A and B are shown apart, each in its own frame.
Chain A
Amino acid sequence: MAILVGKQTRVLVQGMTGRAGTFYTDLAVRYGSTYVAGVRPGKGGSQHIGLPVFNTVREAVGETNANASLVMIPAAKAGPAIIEAIEAEIGVIVCVTERVPVHDVARVKAALKGSDSILIGPNSQGILTPDACKIGVMPTADAAPGVVGIVSRSASLTSEILAQTTAHGLGQTTTVGIGGDAIHGLGFRTCLELFRNDKATKGVILIGEVGGTEEEDAADYLAATDYGKPVVALVVGRHAPKERRMGHAGTLSIFGLPSAAEKIERLQSAGALIATDADAVAPLMKKAIDGNS
């Protein structure tokens, strides 16, 4: 089992014929994911790296029953592309594009309301269910099927922790990068809910950082829930100077940035196990899972 994506997922790629689109589609297919179509206005009817290309998402869905989309469209046009996927009722939409204008993302959020689509990103490395489905740009060499769910705001740090869970024999159910932008789709809270309902997931690793409100939302959820599985949290940026923005685009800091220390305290009092640093995450999770069984 896993969350959001698995063997049943049929992926189409918006922007598949571009350089990055071609490269990452090819990697994902080689990894064993089911990719069924590409979308590129004006190139409908053609084939690209063995997949049919359609002019619109709706057409592609009609012909191929695609139920997920990877958006690899340049920042200026990414927002409208996501909205097209929402209107075509795609279930899981993953946008890896960086630097999408915040006004465009806000309009995407408005389009998401009242729809059943889930947006991951933008500025996300994607989602990976090992040996079943990869939608995104993350490396897969160190991934292995297993029992830990990972949800994170960063990419390279996630690769690091994912590799550690594999090295400790834990493996992953699904790894989700929610993206580093201030306004984004899927958040920590919903991911925690999904992992809670996933029987195969024995514990969840949450990787947060200074800025934003994701960790606070997660803490509120954990405090109000009998979660039933260990949650190990790593929040980085404890030593980041307050007046400077480091890390991801973070928050519109009208009323000051929430510090990493505040987030850690909140998560800890909500019952999360706090990893002191990046190297401590997998050992802590292993201990928690072994102690639970």
Chain B
Amino acid sequence: MKLSEHLSKELLAQYGVTVPVGRLATTPEEAEARCREIPATKYVVKAQIGAGGRGLVGGIKMAATPSAVRSEAARLIGEALVTAQTGPAGELVNSVYIEEAVDIHRSFYLAIAFDQHTGEPVLLCSDRGGVEFEQAARIDPGIVRQFTLTFDGSDDMAALRRFLAETGVSDNALEPAAELAMAAARAFFANDATLVEINPLAVRVDGAVLAVDAKISLDTNALFRHPEFEALDDGQDVPEQERIARENDINFVKLAGNIGVVVNGAGLGLATNDMLFDAGGDPANFMDIRTTTTSLQMARGATMLLQDPSVTVVLVNVHGGGMTACDTVAEGFAIAYARAERKPPVVVRLAGQNADWARTMLKDRRLPIEDFSDMSSAIARAVQVAKGGRR
């Protein structure tokens, strides 16, 4: 779960990270009024979206006066910003954050995350902070340096200062930068964050440091320890189909094609979609029925798929496992199909736990299914039907 910029900064400030003075606004009028509360001679107006890369596509604008703030806010609010991280539809801007514009002497990138290999908490730092950082890091990951942190804050501060100095932080900024890094680490541990990212971390000529932009990702699996964030995890930022799926314990991603797929397990879901594409088909979705999904939840997921006007054929590919047996999926699918107004043709391939039982269940309920024993044949048939092949 990603926190927006202003929530991330609010949280970081509670742990002692210095951030610019700012105000949030949801209308241009509010933006103009609220920026007057900021003691600044120049402002910056920032679109509040979850995805990064907004600076490169006009999502961050300087404004010299409150009326300029208003017109920049008017331009951003209600627009969808398309960045390198959003996908083609972009992300809708519902609010803007207005801050004092900061005189930046040097920009750093600073993040705290877990190392993928070792599972150790690490501080990542680069002297190439700013809007171009991600691109630069992709081309040359060597620009990012890594310092291993402790879980309990008992870090060797001299070693941390040495690390920051080697990364290029000037002598007069070492102490405040080290303190800021430790404050960010406290925020990371205390809130079950998966990522705390400050980019840019601005260093001023006088050595003062400031988190000019910040992004925090929280572990949704740890929300039980942080009820204060639960209200933020309302799923408003995900498409409706995906939200319904999530509420029903199904992982779902909408895709552009016309073959609806019902699959259990993420790996099998990816494998099925790969095979559909390879056979010349075009899946309408990625689905992963979770092991804990009930048949009723399954029915809601299937209903959503059957209602989708872009779906012209449904492929059910289930390998019943120790936890999700075929009959659970078949029962849920049969309930949905019986109730559905749209009844697209269905190609099924059932294997593993309770496959025979599931097949009998679908046939007894007179679902017009075509049944195959292996994946390749079922997929070839689904693609053929999707392309208008005769049934």
Contacts and interface: CB of A to CB of B under 8 A. Distances in A.
Interface of A: 24, 27, 75-76, 98-110, 125, 136-139, 141-142, 152-160, 163, 180, 182-183, 207, 209-210, 212-213, 217, 234, 236-241, 243-244, 246-248, 251-252, 254-256, 276-279
B351 interface: yes
Given A139-B322, A244-B253, A246-B266, A278 B137 contact: no
Given A102-B192, A125-B322, A236-B267, 4 more contacts: A237-B270, A243-B87, A277-B375, A278-B268
Nearest to B51: A243
A50 B288 CA distance: 36
Interface in B167-200: 189, 192, 194-195, 197
Nearest to A108: B119
A281 B376 CA distance: 12
Interface in B225-267: 225, 251, 253, 255, 263-267
B321 A138 contact: yes
Given A154-B267, A209-B267, A252-B114, A24 B221 contact: no
Contacts of B132: none
A34 B306 CA distance: 46
A158 B267 contact: yes
Given A107-B151, A156-B324, A180 B219 contact: no
A139 B194 contact: no
A210 to B, nearest CB: 7
A240 B119 contact: no
Contact of B151 (A110, A125, A138, A153): A110
Nearest to B267: A154
A37 B267 CA distance: 33
A209 B270 contact: yes
Interface residues of B, number: 66
A109 B151 CA distance: 12
A157 B113 contact: no
A252 B195 contact: yes
B270 A137 contact: no
Contact of B270 (A125, A212, A247): A247
Contact of B286 (A109, A136, A240): A240
Nearest to B256: A241
Contact of A236 (B271, B321, B374): B271
Contact of B271 (A75, A101, A256, A278): A278
Interface in B334-391: 351-353, 374-376
Contacts, number: 185
Contact of A241 (B85, B87, B266): B87
Given A154-B267, A240-B286, A256-B138, A110 B221 contact: no
B134 interface: yes
B308 interface: no
Contacts of B224: 76
A156 B321 contact: yes
Contacts of B376: 277, 279
B267 A239 contact: no
- Main secondary structure, interface of A, reads loop
Give the one of B121, B221, B225, B263 with max A CB within 10 A: B221
Interface of B: 85-87, 111, 113-114, 116-121, 124, 134, 137-138, 141, 144, 151, 189, 192, 194-195, 197, 217, 219, 221-222, 224-225, 251, 253, 255, 263-275, 277-278, 286, 288, 290-292, 318-324, 351-353, 374-376
A155 B265 contact: yes
A277 B117 contact: no
A277 B346 CA distance: 22
A278 B319 CA distance: 12
B278 A276 contact: yes
Contact of A139 (B138, B273, B288, B353): B353
B267 A246 contact: no
B374 A247 contact: no
A189 to B, nearest CB: 10
A241 to B, nearest CB: 7
Contacts of B86: 243
Contacts of B321: 125, 137-139, 155-156, 159
A236 B353 CA distance: 23
A142 B352 contact: yes
5 smallest beta-carbon distances between A and B, as pairs: A154-B267, A156-B265, A109-B119, A157-B267, A101-B222
A141 B267 contact: no
Contacts of B265: 154-157
B65 to A, nearest CB: 37
Contacts of B375: 160, 277-279
Contacts of B255: 241
Contact of A106 (B111, B120, B273, B291): B120
A182 B118 contact: no
30 contacts: A76-B225, A101-B219, A102-B192, A103-B219, A103-B222, A106-B121, A106-B151, A109-B120, A137-B322, A142-B352, A160-B271, A160-B375, A163-B319, A163-B352, A180-B266, A182-B116, A183-B116, A209-B267, A210-B270, A236-B270, A238-B274, A238-B277, A241-B87, A241-B253, A246-B253, A246-B266, A252-B114, A252-B116, A277-B375, A278-B375
Contacts of A241: 87, 253, 255
A248 B286 CA distance: 12
